[in-house]
Amino acid sequence: MLLQMAFRNLRRNLRRTIITSAAVAVGMIVLVMSNTLRAGQYDDMISSSVSQLAGHVVVQHPEYQQEQETELVVEDVDGLVAALKQEIPNTVITTRTRLGGILASSSSPTVIGLTAVDPLSEGKVSDMADKIVMGTWVQNDSKSIVIGQNMADLLQADLGDRLVFTTSVDGEMNSHLYRLTGVFRTGAEEVDAFVGYVSIASVDTVLGRPNTANQVAVHLGNASQTNAILERVERVVESQGRKDVAVQPWPEILPDVIAMIKVDQVSNEMISISLMFIVAMGILNTMLMNVLERSKEFGVLMAIGLKKGALVRMILLEAALVGIIGGLSGAVLGMMASYPIVVNGLDLTKMMGEGMVINGAVASTILYGRYDFLWIGGYILLSVLCAVLSALYPAWKIQQLTPVDAMRS
């Protein structure tokens, strides 16, 4: 009966109910749209960082994470990769070595951050292979090099040109001759002017450490399997008796990405709470008016024997219904409003260029949204909670009155 009365009371003053619910709904629309965009952005940040800078599970020298020194390598990479492929066949395994040096053309030199990769597996996980604008992705030979467009322009290098890479190994300068086989463009200048890719086989000779890599990374189709795969990789490493490697999940490899997302989430949550607080103030005002206008009615209910607790429940129930109506309709409208962003993405290329570097990885400037139903459900609960909390004061105020006082007012 209380629920029925609460419904009917809301229907009785339909315009007020609609306005109050609309306030909640508007808050919800903003929250859902913002969350959908952020969820997509976080996904993109994680997937681009994981694919370009790590893998879901990474095997590396225990000190490499801290020191990032080229000399800190995993030995017998071929043996490890073969064993991993056997243990977890439906995954992509990449091997990477990173080294800095000078790349020189016949006309000029420039500083380069070179990533030596297994071209085939790298092409499957990193979208760099899709950003080739001239030539091809790295060939599986000791000569092929792919560089960013800005660097190619700086070096005035064309496809097929000779480029000499020089780096310091154990205090001695080593050089290797490459031929430019491809040019990529990410749209992020710091990447296009600084980064290059070669075959990992080609740096074996430069570094004098064949069959080694800084990282052996396992890439999964579904990040949620990370922990399960981590255990299997650990078993493989253990079975090979390797003591000089660490097996780490991607959050340990990319702590900055996690920190960045957490900071963003906290600021987003604060904005959400502030927004819902403003909405709650609006509801408080309406609920207070609504309750005080009906105090005579509440007095009668108390007089005929309705306990004060039941009266408070009825008032809170009305507020909760406003929260549910506003929250649900706002969630649906917010999802509808976000739908174009989920399907087509939000194109920021004119504002931000074709790519943006987030923590060293190139992310797209076309931002795709993703419905995060857990958060959306949480927001609906938050809106109900705000509505109920905002009705506490009016409910308390009525509860303070005696039936006679309430009927007189």
Partner 1 sequence: MSQSTVTVTDVHREYQQGEFTVKALQGVSLSIEPGEFTVLMGSSGSGKTTLLNIIGGLDSPSTGSVEIDGQELSSMAANDLSDLRLHKFGFVFQAYNLIPVLSAFENTEFVPLMQGVGVEERKTRSMEMLKAVGLEGMENRLPSELSGGQQQRVAVARALAGNPMLILADEPTANLDSTTGKELIKLMRHLNEDKGVTFIFATHDPKVMDAAKRVIHLEDGRIVEDERR
The contact set with partner 1 (CB under 8 A) reads 1, 5, 8-9, 11-12, 296-297, 300-310, 402-404, 407
Nearer Cβ to partner 1 (262/296): 296
**Exposure string for 181-209, b = 16+ CB within 10 A, e = fewer:** bbbbbbbbebbbbbbbbbbbebbbebbeb
Q: Among residues 164 and 306, whose Cβ is nearest to partner 1?
A: 306
| Closest CB 403 distance from partner 1, rounded Å | 4
State the nearest-atom distance from the C-beta of 407 to partner 1, in Å: 7
- Give dist(CA 23, CA 16) in Å, integer: 11
Rounded alpha-carbon distances, angstroms, from residue 12 to 15, 27, 138, 393: 9, 24, 71, 22
In the complex with partner 1, which residue's Cβ is closer, 314 or 382? 314
Specify the residue, 4 or 222, whose C-beta has the smaller distance to partner 1.
4
Cβ 36 to partner 1 shortest distance, Å: 38
Work out how close the CB of 304 gets to partner 1 at its nearest, in angstroms, rounded to a whole number: 6
Q: Return the number of the residue (124 or 308) whose C-beta is nearest partner 1.
A: 308
- In total, the chain counts a number of residues equal to 409
CB of 293 to partner 1, least distance (A): 12
Q: How far is the CB of 325 from partner 1 (least distance, A)?
A: 17
CB of 300 to partner 1, least distance (A): 4
Q: Which is nearer to partner 1, 22 or 300 (CB)?
A: 300
Nearer to partner 1, 13 or 359 (CB): 13
Select 8 or 262, whichever has its Cβ closest to partner 1.
8
Give buried/exposed letters for 233-259 (b at 16+ CB in 10 A, else e): beebbeeeebeebbbbbbeebbeebbe
Minimum CB separation of residue 6 from partner 1 in Å reads: 9
